Amino acid sequence: MLKISRVLAVLLVASSLTYAKEAKDMDVYGNEIVDNGKVVNIYNGVVIEYDGDILSGKSAIYDRVNNKIIIKDNVTVIQKNGKRVRANELTVNLDNDHILFKDFFQIDTDDVWISSVKAKKEEDKLKFKNALFSSCQVDNPDWLIGFDKAVYDTKDKVLKLDDAKIYIKDIPVFYFPYLSIPLGRERKSGFLRPKFAHIEDEGYLFEEPYFWAINKSQDLEFYPQIRTKRGYGLYAMYRFYHDKDAYGSIKAGYFKDKKSYTNKYNLKYNKHYGVEAEYTNKSLIDSLAKGEYENKLYLNGIYFNDGDYINLQNRDYIGHFRIGSYYESRLNYFIKNNYFYSGINFRYFKSVSHPNNDDTIQILPQINFHLPYTNLFYNNLSYSLDTTIVNYTRKKGTKALKLSLKAPLEMHYSLFNNYLSLNLSEEIEATSYKFKNVPKKYDKYNSIIANHEIELASELSKVYDSGIHTALFSLIFTKSNIISESSIKYKDIPNDIKIDFIDKVLTNSKLTFRSHHFWKGFNGFNVDYILDANYYFKDKKIRDLNQEIDIKYKHWHFYSNVNYSFLYKTTTEIYSSISYKRYKYGLTFAYLWEKDYKTLETTSKDLSVDGYYKYSSALSFRASVSYDIKSKSFKNWEVGTNLNRKCWSVDFTFGQDIRPVIKSDGSRGSISNNYFGVQFTILPFGLSYGTGN
């Protein structure tokens, strides 16, 4: 090819003198040049390097009078960032660097494309007229957005559309007078995907979230919602990020029910509100972190007046600790090094099904101080020290303050060429309790207890042609003696105080046998088996037996846990599950049967089944059901299907769940909810619609 950059360079210099404007660097390459005075024509292919971009086409015209370059036929622009633009014609105004496109087309790395009859680039703005936008295939797309005009900010990476219409195939389904779509990776302020739903007893649900990107380290989301037959509410979530070691979030919400809805279900609360917080700081005190100390702060908390505060919001954001019907809030801080550990933690429990929290025991706070095991005299002998202060409190009922000191002393021996290990442990435990809201004679209890433990253990391993077998055996003798007590004896303390606050003292000698076998097959067949048995010398018999087995082979997985009581001569708990899972389909059966250990009354007896089937990479089905054998009723069930195409997806769900509520008289109740949901999502944004009954 013939390089003609020198020829055009002279022309550009002359032009720049005429208009008093400095031209950007440009190199032009062409095969055939015809200079007609005011116009220079380039034929049979042209390539131009302009301001870091590469422009190419079949022909080009340089207009000396208007100081413009026009490239025609199969125009391609390769930008500095690697993105490509195609057009039928391109005009560069060398005076102001504006670029005009005809039949503009561009596709990015996420397969999002835009096609426009006319487009104009002015500095950081790209303006379109009569354009189409989609992420589906270009020929016959499943969906697209058509708009009269739009502006794309190449710096902020936001596409703003006027008079936008969303089409499914050739059918218009949505109209937006204005629409803003962020196309970059950085967070942008704006409205998020709206949520539409219809629930028979709550009416139409509409939620339109708004996202505010305050700065790079903070953002705030608002979730206003309206339920036409039930009420209205607002949730908000604030997130912050100081650095990789310090970050967190705060969420709060409020929802008010209509009087008609409250009366219909005889509910105790017509206002539902709460607040949540999560915070992690892996180096709270910087001066300590720079030395040999490690210190961390962790907060995960939630408070609400009623469980519907949780039911009425999207739970995809902050996760909390849950124990049965209680949510647990935690605040922990610790400092440690190689020689000691000290920590303080607060634990607050809130029920979703109780009318109040007055009789719930809270731990506010618990303080721990620990010295790790340290050798004494020689390596086989070691000691440790644990000090704990616990404040058990609540509004109504017994309260307690517990002070505890534990000082274990351990000896370890290896016998028979390390085939057998002998571990001896002697621990002195001094505990002091001070109770409130109890009769005077029970307000204090002090004790010193000696805990004895002797353990014989062995670990064996052998390699076979088909796998490796590892066996662990242990025999543990444990016994506790009360060395001294206060005037009130352990046996005389009321049972409710013992159960709530005092650790059980095992004065009856116990012998625990544990056998743990693990087989790792070279063909993928793995077995993990544990057997525990407890023999009580006073009863002269085995009281409890626990068996746990876990088997995995290729796509199969079997798990079982069985507890048997020789004292009551009955099984007290069974949990078993078996599953077969492949990429295309899978099925799981699970069975749970639990009894109260004292009354032997069946507390749970459930059967659950869930499975999935992938008809293709785009279409899948799922189903799950949980059946309460005890009450002979379904607890919950759900069936669904998902169709996932390259640029859109739709998900159908039909099922039933039961949510607990609190009645106006304080009693517990529940509302059974049969629901049907549809969620339709298109890239780069989605719309959700669901119905429920």
Closest CA to 120 of 132, 96, 104: 104
What's the helix, strand, coil split of the chain in %, to 5? 5, 65, 25
* pLDDT of res. 684: 59
Looking at residue 305, its amino acid is N
What's the CA dihedral at 156, 158, 162, 168 to 10 degrees? 170
Going by pLDDT thresholds of 50, 70 and 90, the confidence category of residue 272 is: very high
Question: Would the pLDDT of 687 be above 60?
Answer: no
Contacts of 326 (CB under 8 A, 6+ apart): 349, 350, 351, 352, 360
Return d(Cα 88, Cα 71) in angstroms, integer.
9
Return d(Cα 57, Cα 74) in angstroms, integer.
5
Q: For 35-58, what is the mean pLDDT?
A: 89
* pLDDT of res. 230: 93
Start-to-end C-alpha separation, the chain:
73
CA distances 518 to 472, 475, 561, Å, are: 9, 18, 16
Question: Would the pLDDT of 640 be above 50?
Answer: yes
Question: Would the pLDDT of 683 be above 70?
Answer: no
The total of other beta-carbon atoms located within 10 Å of residue 237's CB is: 21
Looking at residue 288, its amino acid is L
pLDDT single digits (tens) 295-322: 999 999 999 998 889 888 875 555 788 8
CA distances 487 to 109, 501, 622, Å, are: 79, 18, 64
Q: For 16-27, what is the mean pLDDT?
A: 50
Question: Would the pLDDT of 2 be above 50?
Answer: no
Burial class of residue 159 (count of CB atoms within 10 Å of its CB; 0-12, 13-18, 19+): buried
* pLDDT of res. 685: 57
Going by pLDDT thresholds of 50, 70 and 90, the confidence category of residue 275 is: very high
Going by pLDDT thresholds of 50, 70 and 90, the confidence category of residue 1 is: very low
pLDDT single digits (tens) 564-592: 998 888 999 999 999 999 999 999 999 99
Return d(Cα 481, Cα 420) in angstroms, integer.
28
Note whether 475 and 455 are within 8 A (CB). yes
Angle at 398 (CA atoms; ends 392, 401), nearest 5 degrees: 35
Note whether 143 and 172 are within 8 A (CB). no
Return d(Cα 254, Cα 249) in angstroms, integer.
17
Written in H, E and C, the secondary structure of 249-297 is EEEEEEEEECHHHHHHHCECCCEEEEEEEEEEECCCCHHHHCCCCEEEE
The total of other beta-carbon atoms located within 10 Å of residue 69's CB is: 25
Going by pLDDT thresholds of 50, 70 and 90, the confidence category of residue 287 is: low
pTM of the model: 0.76
Residue 580 has which token pair?
């077969």
Q: For 215-235, what is the mean pLDDT?
A: 94
Going by pLDDT thresholds of 50, 70 and 90, the confidence category of residue 475 is: very high
Note whether 642 and 616 are within 8 A (CB). no
pLDDT single digits (tens) 155-193: 878 888 888 998 888 899 888 898 887 777 777 788 887
- In three-state secondary structure terms, 361 is coil
Question: Would the pLDDT of 198 be above 50?
Answer: yes
Return d(Cα 663, Cα 265) in angstroms, integer.
8
Q: For 604-630, what is the mean pLDDT?
A: 94
**H helix or E strand, kind and range, residue 9:** helix 5-19
The total of other beta-carbon atoms located within 10 Å of residue 350's CB is: 21
Return d(Cα 294, Cα 337) in angstroms, integer.
6
Partners of 663 in the β-ladder: 267
Return d(Cα 88, Cα 85) in angstroms, integer.
10
pLDDT single digits (tens) 69-83: 999 999 999 988 778
- Tally: H helices and E strands in the chain: 5, 43
Q: What's the chain's average pLDDT? A: 87
pLDDT single digits (tens) 200-224: 778 888 999 999 999 989 999 999 9
Angle at 215 (CA atoms; ends 210, 220), nearest 5 degrees: 30
What's the CA dihedral at 13, 18, 23, 26 to 10 degrees? -40
Partners of 532 in the β-ladder: 514, 546
